Amino acid sequence: MTVTGLVAGYGAAEVLHGIDLEVGDREAVAILGPNGAGKSTLMNVLSGIVRPRAGTWRLGDTDVTGLPPHRLVRAGIVHVPEGRQVFPQMTVKENLLLGAFARPDRGGSRLAAVLDLFPRLAERIGQDAQTLSGGEQQMLAIGRGLMAEPALLLLDEPTLGLAPILVDEVLARLRQICETFGVSVLVAEQNSYLAGGLCHRFYVLTDGSVTGVSADVVGDDAALMSMYTGSGADRKD
């Protein structure tokens, strides 16, 4: 995906002032940034929930700028929003099959691949989603996103509020998602150390703009903090 000059906001407030970024095929790319930087706004624009004021985004050769959410899903952009939004009174299997609504003919084979990726879900296939732990619900939300056969998966803070052991288990799947499913991933995270070892490339979102940074900067708390607070840091050019 290639995003160019994306501007978005709410009412009088402009939150994104011209975002340029790139996610390559089968790449896991992280958007890092402090609270309120605009990470969710970016995800919501790219998935059609918030309308942009300017800018374009393309998936491969296709201009998908401003399409409504259901058409973006069909085009291959699938959003797993912050907060593990599963259907609580439906089973794990029902939640997963709902994710395949755009491609019902291929739901069965996809289900097997998702259950291979998350064996915890396979063990709980008939259980209501509301009875899963927080980490298992997050796996279910990601699994449901994969059921739609995305080309690009947008993950908004997938580790928020999870116990450390489940954080590792969820994030360890990122590379596997790219490699096994042939999917590109754009993941928004506040915690750089979580994304550091797992993503291929990194951007920092501050003041409504993004800057590409190297893994070294991501691993350097002081450098990141100075970017977050606007006191300058190493750029990767």
Ligand X SMILES: Nc1ncnc2c1ncn2[C@@H]1O[C@H](COP(=O)(O)OP(=O)(O)OP(=O)(O)O)[C@@H](O)[C@H]1O
Q: At closest approach, how far in Å is the CB of 11 from ligand X? A: 7
Q: At closest approach, how far in Å is the CB of 175 from ligand X? A: 23
Site for ligand X in 182-211 (CB under 6 A): 190
173 lines the binding site for ligand X (CB under 6 A): no
Strand segments, DSSP code E, in 47-193 are 54-59, 62-63, 77-80, 152-156, 184-189
Burial class (CB in 10 A: 0-12, 13-18, 19+), 214: middle
At 134, which amino acid appears? G
Q: Torsions phi, psi of 155, nearest 5?
A: -110, 115
Contact 95, 129 (CB under 8 A): yes
Q: At closest approach, how far in Å is the CB of 89 from ligand X? A: 27
* Per-residue CA distances from 223 to 163, 219, 237 (Å): 27, 9, 16
Measured from the CB atom, the residue of 36 and 126 that comes closer to ligand X is: 36
Measured from the CB atom, the residue of 92 and 185 that comes closer to ligand X is: 185
Measured from the CB atom, the residue of 77 and 147 that comes closer to ligand X is: 77
Q: At closest approach, how far in Å is the CB of 37 from ligand X? A: 4
Measured from the CB atom, the residue of 33 and 55 that comes closer to ligand X is: 33
Count of CB atoms situated within 10 Å of the CB of 36: 9
Site for ligand X in 8-67 (CB under 6 A): 10, 15, 33, 35-41
Measured from the CB atom, the residue of 108 and 161 that comes closer to ligand X is: 161
Contact residues toward ligand X (CB under 6 A) are: 10, 15, 33, 35-41, 190
